[in-house]
Structure formats: structure tokens, C-alpha cells
Amino acid sequence: MNLSEIVQVEVDDLTEEFSHCFTGECRVNVLPLLYQISKIITESEDLAKTLTLILSVMQHQLKIHRGVVTLYDRESQTIFIHESFGLTEDQKARGLYAPGEGITGQVVESGKPIIVPHLREDSRFLDRTKAHSDGNGNASFFCVPIIHGRKVLGTISAERGYRNRRLLKQDVEVLSTIASMIAPAVELYLLENVDKVRLENENRRLQSELKERFKPSNIIGNSKPMQAVYDLIQKVATTKTTVLILGESGVGKELVANAMHYNSGNADGPFVKFNCAALPENIVESELFGHEKGSFTGAVGMRKGRFELADGGTIFLDEVGELSLPMQAKLLRVIQERTFERVGGNKPVKVDLRIIAATNRNLLDMVAKGTFREDLYYRLNVFPITIPPLRDRGSDVVLLADHFVARSAAAAGKDVKRISTPALNMLMAYHWPGNVRELENVIERSVILSDDGVIHGYNLPPSLQTSEETGTNFGCSMEAKVEAVEYEMIVEALKTHNGNTTEAAKELGLTRRVLGLRIEKYGIDYRIYRRSYIAKQAAKQKA
């Protein structure tokens, strides 16, 4: 066979390889698209236009299910998703990596492509975006670096199912070629936009964190009254309806407002909060509606008010019941027409926003007394949500207390792991006039006072330590304090040993007779802990 025949055979083999794979997909058709990409880069170096074409090629010609282009910010040592398909905005925002972290981070660190035939079986796969939270992660995955001048600038990664390993290899080669073609444009883009890219990336991350933090499922509590609140939040969040949040001080009205905004269609817009009781009456109007230059002494320039700043998003008016009657009349017009004038101005300013108001006052009583406008009340009361007080939420006290223990312990740098049974009994028996805010403050104080990793009853404020709640008559003397500690130790030992007084006495270093006398002194029923143990065992056997 002569040289020309050998060359012809190799060309035929190459054509066969690229045009007759088992899936019936022809990679020869990609060649004209590579030419188009090259032409765009040569003519304009427009990265946005190039990436749009590349993602289209991946999605429609290569049949990729999920495609991602990441960029590497060397200054912050962060790899972030710049463009993609098959991911939501929240998933994109979560896709942050450091060099060497996960498959993408390893590609950036090594500058070499990585091919994973079965994604679910690879320990390097982090699923940082949570795009595979449904358990569907058994596709093939590959990631190729974007390199220019021996510097890794980012990656292109793709995910899809492959029946033919040859086709997988071909797609890696196609995307590697594309990555090398766009590398100069990527480097130019990073040089010109590095600060902008970093800010956009940080904004996406913060928006994602805020949505996660304030979504209704993260409002702690499983009681029936709170389940009803969650249902109302879910129904109204996606609308622009005006909402009035009612409830006592400290129940978490602002948290509910946050949840509604960050789960609404305006979630990407501003969320502006204003406490109507925080400022004198003569300043409130300027704060809400803004003012023009020279409208009053000290107005050295035009200033936008809270309503104008909230345009395109949500404004939260806390303690709306504290507004004066003149301010109520001006607020009524904004709610009706979404239009107002700045102080000292006559040009109407129109805004598109959602209004959420909150109060701990009884507005109907105020309407009857003439201190709150009836027409404003009905404008605000379109969709009322009443947050129940903590005393009506039963078991939520324990859930909230555990949450605050973990948070306060982390903030204080202390290793506090649990709340003792007597302390829990005190928390459950207390009426909580200050609601969730008071509980949070109580737990924060108790975490600071705890010396052994446990919050005991004597760590709680005196207001919670009454005879009705502890089952004792402790006073404030040293002897009373010693009795309080003794009572707690006995209860904890009985709980640990499931009501077995013999074992509890051994732990406490007492004889069974002495322990019996102490149990009688404090009116402790050891059988409660034995019955609790039996009930738990029976439940396990049924399960």
C-alpha cells in the first residue's frame, strides 16, 4: 500500500469515527459552528455573543443536558459560574469553588481535563449547586480548562448520558478546541471586567443566601398555628397584594415579611424596611417620600425617600399603627395610586412596589377611637396574617430554644450542647410576654452563664424560677441556690438511668436511702422517667 492509500484510509477512518457513532449523532456538523465561533472571536472578541453560541452548540448539537462556563478570579481565588444552561439562578449562585475543590476546582488547579463516566460514583463530585438533590446524578460529566499563556482562566463543563465512550471522547475534544479558541477573549474580558464580575458574583451569592435564609421553611416552628401561617405566606408571596402582619411585639413579624419578599417575583428588587415609630413626626414624611433641595432648613440636596428606594421591590412599614393622622392620609394615597410627591416638590413620582405593613396594635379599636383612619385600615387589611404569640405555640418553644442555643454558643465560642430537663420544664411553663425575642435573650444569657456544656435551671433568669415551674420553693439565699442545683442533679440522674433509683444513687455518690429522702423532699416522681423509657421502647418495637 503506497503513501496516498494510507492517508486515504486514515481520512476514511476519521470520517467514519465522526459520522457514524452508535447514537446516530454526527459530530461533522459541529465543524461549521466552530468556524462561526472563530469568526466572531476574530471580528469582535465579544465574549457574551461567543458564549451564547457555544452554549447553543452544546445544548442543541451535542445534546448536552447541562452546560456550564466558569471563570476564575485569581485575586479572590474564586471559581464561579458565569454562563450556563440547565441551572436555575439560585443553583448558579451556589456554584462557587476554590482551586482544587471538587472536579471543577481540580481542573483549574491542574490545567487538565477530567472525564467522569458515572458522576454519582465519583467522590470528587460535590454537587455544590444542588442540581442533583433529586438523586439523579448518574450521567457522564467532563470538564475542560480554558487556558491562555499557561494561565487557567476558567472551565467549560458538560453533563449528559453517553452509551458510546467514543462519542464522550469526541465531545471532550470538541469542547477543548472551543476552550482554546475563546481563551484570548476570556482573558480580555477578565482584565476589563474583573471588578464588575466579582461584584456580580458576590451579589448573586448574597441573593441566594438571603432567599435561603428567609424562605418560610426556615421560620422555626411546627405547631399547628404556625403551619397555618406558613400556608398563608406561601399563597400570598407570589402576588403583589398588600399584606398586614398582626401580632404581639417580638413574635417575628419582620421575619415573615422577609420570607414573603424573598419568595416573591420582586425578590431581585430592593427590600426596604422602615419603623414608623422610630423617628419624630416631622421627619417621617421626608424619610418616606424624600425631599427636594431647599424644601426646608438643612435640605442641601434632593433626597430619595424609602418608597422611591423600594421601587421594583418591597417596602416593609413596621409599627404602622404609630403614624399620625396626617401621615396616614398621605400613606393612603400612595397605597391607592402608587404615586406621591417629594417634600417641597410638585412633580409626581410613580413607583411599582409591594407594601407590607405590620403592627402590634389593635387597629380596629384605634379606628373606633378615631386614632387610625378607617379607609387606610381597609386598604392595609387586604390580606391579614396574624402571628401567634409564643405561649400559644406549645412545642415550638423547645425547637426555638435549641436553635438559639446553637447560634448563641457559636457566637460566644462556647461548647454548649443541650438544655437540662428542669430548665426545659421552666421554659415550657413560662408565659413569654416578650415572645420569641425574649426567649432568644434568655438563651443568650444562659449560654454565657453555662460552665459545663449544659443550660441548667439556675442559669435561667429569676423570672422563670418560680415554685410553680420548678416544683420547689427555692428562694434567693445561698441555701436555696444549693437546693436548686441538687434538684437539677437528681432529675438529670433519674432521666439518664430511666428512673432506676439504684443506678441514679450510684452516679450521685449517694445511698439509695439518702436519694429516696431527697426525692421525697423535692416532690420528684421517679416513675415518670421509667414510664417514659418504657413508652420509647414500645414505640421502637412497633417501628
Cβ neighbours of residue 429 closer than 8 Å, sequence gap 6 or more: 468, 469
Between strands 140-148 and 151-160, the pairing is antiparallel
- φ, ψ at 98 (rounded to 5°): -105, 155
Distance CA 338, CA 356 (A): 14
Residue linked to cell 424560677: 465
CA distance 236 to 216: 12
CA gap 387, 254 in Å, rounded: 11
CA angle 177, 188, 199 (to 5 degrees): 110
Q: What separation in angstroms does the CA of 521 have from each of 429, 456, 486, 517, 524?
A: 22, 20, 11, 6, 8
Cell digits of residue 203: 451579589
Judge whether 252 and 396 are in contact, CB under 8 Å.
no
Tens place of pLDDT per residue across the chain (543 aa): 544 444 344 434 444 444 444 444 666 666 777 777 777 777 766 777 778 888 888 888 788 888 999 998 887 788 888 888 988 888 888 888 888 888 999 999 999 999 988 887 788 888 888 887 665 557 889 999 999 888 999 999 998 888 777 888 888 888 898 888 888 888 888 877 766 666 776 776 666 666 555 556 668 888 888 888 888 988 898 889 999 999 999 998 999 998 899 888 888 899 999 999 888 877 888 899 988 887 777 777 888 999 999 999 999 999 999 999 999 999 998 999 999 998 888 889 999 999 999 999 999 999 999 999 999 999 999 999 999 999 888 878 888 998 899 989 999 899 888 888 888 888 888 889 899 999 999 999 999 998 888 898 888 887 786 554 444 444 556 676 677 778 878 887 887 888 888 888 888 888 888 888 888 887 787 777 776 666 666 655 555
**Cell digits for 164?**
458510546
Measure Cα distances from 270 to 106, 165, 420 in Å: 37, 49, 43
Taking only Cα atoms into account, the Rg of the chain, rounded to an integer number of angstroms, comes to 33
Residue 371: what are its φ and ψ, rounded to 5°? -100, -5
